[in-house]
A and B are shown apart, each in its own frame.
Chain A
């Protein structure tokens, strides 16, 4: 177990954890504003195919990432219109968005089977990015550093800016925020778009960094895990990084254990985990004991102003 080995393992862990961290950060902002968007998986896939397709057409991965974010945001806005303006049930609409995203991305992706892009690799100089030791810091795709930046930026935004305070207020007590004069629906729309954008970038991580190809449903349930992560982090950004990396560490540990002949967890556990997570999330959020839970008080409830 030398340093080389540890560095390689760390690189794998970072690769597994980053997309979940990105998607969870976006979803955290959405949930903090009081909206429960279960369609993370769908938005990630739409972002994945958008990023792949644009990179393939323009040979510019940055354009791909921007378009992935835009595509994710658009998909989320579709959800937003249904939920905020037309008042449909958030859980059902979110699930529908997830399924829609799977289908739409598969449809758009049909022409891209067999196409490969170069991976969206590190922008640091070759010597640093491929150095046996320094690559653990400098060898990653820009999206990895972006993920860390966004977690801290989101935490700073929510806790230290006035705008963030407004967003939190909208999520905790929408009627009071409305009576003070803030546009609850407007704030929620922005939060939903932001969440969709980050989910789109998370999806693009799959199709542009981990495996620069397009395959249907390539996110394989990570969106559900990101949803659960937000709950397990207690809706606090400081715990998001810990949670995402814990998941990444566990999955990598499982692979190393298997490859070395050991058995850490029953293998069916991993296959069912995304769906177990979704069930647990919904159970926790629906729990009547709001006082104990740190969930935003208006999470999942439609905004029904009396005035």
Chain B
């Protein structure tokens, strides 16, 4: 009988399956799996797009040492819990939950899996394996407010908000205070549309604000729809989360860009080095998480110069837009003259400053 029998073949194949074990020790440890929970689609050209850019930065920086994955369009309710559990079961050891509304769900899942590290964006509750991180968007808002205050002719500025959470309130307040610093007559009309992303409603709300006399409108919602309306009407506006100038070449004065790459890479590296601990990080212009897009070429020189001065002030720490005297909407002083509001008060702020017209 020849050696080439089926029995011999199967024996040889079974023996061959043990070969990889011999070579196993030569390879590096399994790559770190990093998971991301996104609020919207990566194509929103704004918030989620910027987070995804950060994720791609991790891959670029750490190459084969990491494997990243993501889940889009995760609602900010109980349905986020199974999504997070699923990411854990897939082997992810570092999970970023990229919106305020995932706060309680993150903590709940973190308790169930104490050896998985969680990073929650824009929240304020932590645990042994839950960090929070935020970006000082309000530093960018102060720059926008300065530009808006100088560019408005009607002294009425529109602000399209989403939900009344600290991040949004901070932005509104920073914007208003900065605008009033260059133009004391400014009033800010605030409309909350109760959604981070609804292009048709954003467009309708922008038309509403325009009809009520606003000639500069800024948004805290994630689509460029508002900018398109502003371009049509010949008004001025700002991009949110990313440079949106291609949607509105005349209307787009500048934008706040979220740059998450450096922070994300540092956290992944911390796990690889075994040095990860629960932290609360609030980086801003100085560390590079907030970037201001190039100004519109038509922006007057003195406005650009004023905006540059604000940016420099944030970067070297000499300037804070939240320096007293600051009054609440009722006119009563809440922060005394010369006092700088501290981070812990800013993180949970729930009141608007004087000059914000809200419902």
A8 interface contact, C-beta 8 A: yes
| Residue among A9, A106, A255 with the highest chain B CB neighbour number at 10 A | A255
Interchain CA distance A257-B357 in the complex, whole Å: 11
Interchain CA distance A255-B202 in the complex, whole Å: 10
Smallest Cβ distance from A126 to chain B, in angstroms? Answer: 14
Pick from A119, A206, A258: contact of B192, CB under 8 Å? A258
Chain A residues 246-263 with CB under 8 Å of chain B are 251-252, 255-263
Residues in A whose Cβ lies below 8 Å from that of B41:
106, 215-217
Contact indicator A259/B204 (Cβ below 8 Å): no
Residues in A whose Cβ lies below 8 Å from that of B189:
259-261
B54 interface contact, C-beta 8 A: no
Contact indicator B208/A211 (Cβ below 8 Å): no
Smallest Cβ distance from B274 to chain A, in angstroms? Answer: 38
Contact indicator A210/B200 (Cβ below 8 Å): yes
Residues in A whose Cβ lies below 8 Å from that of B202:
211
Of all chain A residues, which has the CB nearest B233? Answer: A8
Contact indicator A256/B203 (Cβ below 8 Å): no
Pick from B73, B190, B191, B246: contact of A216, CB under 8 Å? B73
Interchain CA distance A212-B198 in the complex, whole Å: 14
Tell me how many residues of B have a C-beta within 8 Å of chain A: 41
Chain B residues 22-42 with CB under 8 Å of chain A are 40-41
Interface of A is mostly: helix
Residues in A whose Cβ lies below 8 Å from that of B198:
220
Smallest Cβ distance from A264 to chain B, in angstroms? Answer: 8
Residues in A whose Cβ lies below 8 Å from that of B246:
114, 116
Contact indicator B73/A16 (Cβ below 8 Å): no
Q: In the complex where A212-B228, A213-B247, A261-B358 touch, is A255 in contact with B205 (Cβ < 8 A)? A: yes
A306 interface contact, C-beta 8 A: no
Chain B residues 167-225 with CB under 8 Å of chain A are 189-195, 197-205, 207-212, 223-225
Contact indicator B197/A215 (Cβ below 8 Å): yes
Contact indicator B204/A252 (Cβ below 8 Å): yes
Residues in B whose Cβ lies below 8 Å from that of A206:
199-200
A268 interface contact, C-beta 8 A: yes
B91 interface contact, C-beta 8 A: no
Pick from B190, B199, B229, B359: contact of A262, CB under 8 Å? B359
Contact indicator B224/A256 (Cβ below 8 Å): no
Interchain CA distance A110-B72 in the complex, whole Å: 13
Of all chain B residues, which has the CB nearest A8? Answer: B211
Q: In the complex where A106-B41, A257-B359 touch, is A251 in contact with B224 (Cβ < 8 A)? A: no
A39 interface contact, C-beta 8 A: no
Contact indicator A109/B43 (Cβ below 8 Å): yes
Of all chain B residues, which has the CB nearest A263? Answer: B359
Q: In the complex where A106-B41, A213-B247, A267-B194 touch, is A252 in contact with B199 (Cβ < 8 A)? A: no
B116 interface contact, C-beta 8 A: no
Q: In the complex where A210-B203, A211-B200 touch, is A220 in contact with B228 (Cβ < 8 A)? A: no
Interchain CA distance A16-B229 in the complex, whole Å: 14
B280 interface contact, C-beta 8 A: no
Of all chain B residues, which has the CB nearest A212? Answer: B228
Residues in B whose Cβ lies below 8 Å from that of A200:
none
Q: In the complex where A16-B200, A217-B41 touch, is A259 in contact with B225 (Cβ < 8 A)? A: no
Q: Which positions in A face B, CB cutoff 8 Å?
A: 5, 8-9, 11-12, 15-16, 19, 106, 109-110, 112-114, 116, 119, 206, 210-220, 222, 251-252, 255-263, 267-268, 270-271
Q: 5 tightest A-B contacts by CB?
A: A113-B43, A216-B41, A211-B225, A8-B211, A255-B208
Q: Which positions in B face A, CB cutoff 8 Å?
A: 40-41, 43-45, 49, 73, 158, 189-195, 197-205, 207-212, 223-225, 228-229, 232, 246-247, 357-359
What are 25 A-B contacts with C-beta separation under 8 Å? A8-B211, A11-B207, A12-B207, A12-B211, A106-B41, A113-B45, A119-B228, A206-B200, A210-B200, A210-B203, A211-B199, A211-B200, A213-B199, A213-B223, A213-B225, A215-B199, A215-B225, A218-B223, A220-B195, A220-B201, A256-B208, A257-B359, A258-B191, A260-B189, A271-B194
